[in-house]
Amino acid sequence: RLDRRSPLVLDAGSAMREAISSESGIVAAGDTAQDADAAAQTPAHHRLRQHPGHRTLVTLPLLAGDKAIGALTLVRAEPAPFEQRQLSVLQQLAPELGNLLNLRRNADLSAGGRLGATAVAHWRKIQAHTHMRYAVPAAIALAAWLLLGTTPYEVHAGAELEGAIERVVVAPRDGFISSVGASAGDTVDDTQPLLKLETRELDLERQRLVGERDQLVRQHRELLAERSLARAAVIAAQIDETSARVDLVDSELARSELRAPFNGVIIEGELQHRLGAPVERGDVLLKIAPKDDYRIVLNVAESDIDEIEVGQQGDLRLSAMPGRGFGFTVTRITPVASIHDDLNTFRVEGQLNGVDSALRPGMRGIAQVATAERPRWWIWTHGLLDYLRMRWWAW
């Protein structure tokens, strides 16, 4: 039995490490004239020879492949050197012993130990290449950052800009379009005429009613002069009725010229090519939205709707201005699904955090809403995992 802390074992270990570091077998013979030089070149072996019974030494590295996993030291008490034949046999035997010991050692390792040994072996190979020495740790650090780090999960959805309110301009009566003063895309104010209906029939009707009223007024005066008060009262009632009909025609004439209900932008209605076309009472002719008050409408996929909450912040990029972002706040979630681009989506509304004169209702783009912090691996895989979970449950 050998004590690991004994001088003999310590010196033997030093001699073995000396042989391994030299990458060649070391022979330390007995008392020869070269002892002084040998002591200088192999000090560990020289110290080992000072122990009783260690006059002649030979140490051979045990190799497993191209890696030294240990050393074999043979000791003789006699000063006679090893024969060349014996040294040749030992040199042939050392690699076989190295491979055998390596197999035994690996067989005794647990699964975790074997995995660790393989990782260490690969790491040493990587360390042998200078350019890989820095690339691999950087790649490991990047992978750890991507897999273990967290980041806000962003829900992406198609978005459209709408006016905060939309007013329609409808035909007040049956008639024909006489003139058009504005069309879709134009900015208008509440004093600008947008459209005018044909008034020829109303003008003729008004002239007829005015003439009839004037005739009744003359009759009324004559009856008053004749003191026919009963007949005068009947004519007075007819005058009031005719005046009311004139006022009605006047109101229809006034409504024949349509104006904007407020300052805004026409978002729907192209009537320039419909001059003279007939319209019916109640037909929608134009749609107007305020030019400085907008809302954002997002079509959020049903798989992400549970991540959206009122008050969350988002960013909007429009196709017309992809280089600019517009911040907004989620204000409303409609709990009714609809089909949009062949997907089941929910309507989510947002309010812009600021107003820009370049914005127009009807612009479209992409919106992203920042939700809770999530692991990056979950962000990349949750869609697939949710799908597999549903398939598994259905099966």
The Cβ of residue 376 has, within 10 Å, a number of other Cβ atoms equal to 15
Q: Which residues contact 68 (CB under 8 A, 6 or more apart)?
A: 20, 23, 61, 62, 98
Structure tokens that stand for 173 in this block: 């009566």
Amino acid at 370: A
- The residue-averaged pLDDT of 380-394 equals 88
> Which pLDDT does position 39 carry in this prediction?
62
> Rounded CA gap, 207 and 256, in Å?
17
Poorest-pLDDT segment among 10-24, 64-78, 135-149, 217-231: 135-149
The Cβ of residue 124 has, within 10 Å, a number of other Cβ atoms equal to 10
Give whole-number Cα distances, 21 to 28, 59, 280, in Å. 16, 12, 104
Provide the whole-model pTM: 0.51
Residues above pLDDT 70, as percent of the chain: 94
Structure tokens that stand for 5 in this block: 């802390």
Per-residue pLDDT reduced to its tens digit, 19-75: 888 866 777 765 554 555 666 678 888 888 888 888 888 888 888 877 788 888 888
Per-residue pLDDT reduced to its tens digit, 67-101: 788 888 888 888 888 888 888 888 888 888 888 98
Per-residue pLDDT reduced to its tens digit, 327-351: 999 999 988 888 877 788 999 999 8
Q: What is the CA radius of gyration of the chain?
A: 50
Cβ–Cβ < 8 Å for 98, 63: yes
Residue 133 pLDDT class (50, 70, 90 cuts) = low
> Which pLDDT does position 7 carry in this prediction?
87
> Rounded CA gap, 71 and 340, in Å?
75
Cβ–Cβ < 8 Å for 155, 369: yes
Residue 392 pLDDT class (50, 70, 90 cuts) = very high
Residue 128 pLDDT class (50, 70, 90 cuts) = low
